[in-house]
Amino acid sequence: MSSADHRRRAHQRPESFRCLECRLDVSVHAPGTAHRNHCPSCLTSRHVDQHRPGDRASPCRSRMEPIAVSVRGDGEWVLVHRCTGCGALSANRTAGDDNPLLLVRIAVRPLAQPPFPLELLGQI
Ligand SMILES: [Zn+2]
Ligand SMILES: [Zn+2]
């Protein structure tokens, strides 16, 4: 059983990384972004950057889950990740081949789970 666990094996190639969530091998080259840092399939990332995107200076290395989508002034969508290890937040550019269904699901999550009945809005 445990022989199937390859997590301890050094698997660091600069050209790709393996998703901590779905195990997909992901190329760092992606359309629309200079440095891909999250999985295009499940949008999971890893806490490797400390100060700047791509500096790989963080000792945390924990899994980062996508929690929200933000929109920049030019209309570009930005994916917000939260680290499951230390709670750090980071904003990351979306790539052209990111899973669109998952992106939309994250974007509408607050509307799907409102803290008050949405019917109240009709009474304002
Ligand atoms: Zn993944
Ligand atoms: Zn972290």
Contacts with 80 (C-beta within 8 Å, 6 or more apart), sequence order: 66, 67, 68, 69, 70, 89, 90, 91, 92
pLDDT of 72-96, one tens digit each? 999 999 999 999 999 999 999 999 9
Of the ligands numbered here, which is closest to the C-alpha atom of 85? 2
Rg from Cα positions in the chain: 17
Name all contacts of 52-59 with Cβ < 8 Å and 24+ positions apart. Answer: 53/92
- CA 120–ligand 1 middle distance (angstroms): 38
Nearest alpha-carbon partner for 103 in 55, 63, 66, 61: 66
- So what's the pLDDT on residue 82? 98
Give the C-alpha separation, 93 to 33, whole Å: 7
The H or E element spanning position 67 is strand 63-71
- So what's the pLDDT on residue 14? 63
- So what's the pLDDT on residue 45? 96
- So what's the pLDDT on residue 19? 96
- So what's the pLDDT on residue 6? 52
- CA 9–ligand 1 middle distance (angstroms): 19
Nearest alpha-carbon partner for 52 in 66, 35, 69: 35
| Spans of the chain, pLDDT less than 70 | 1-14
Count the Cβ atoms, other than its own, within 10 Å of residue 84. Answer: 14
Give the C-alpha separation, 124 to 122, whole Å: 6
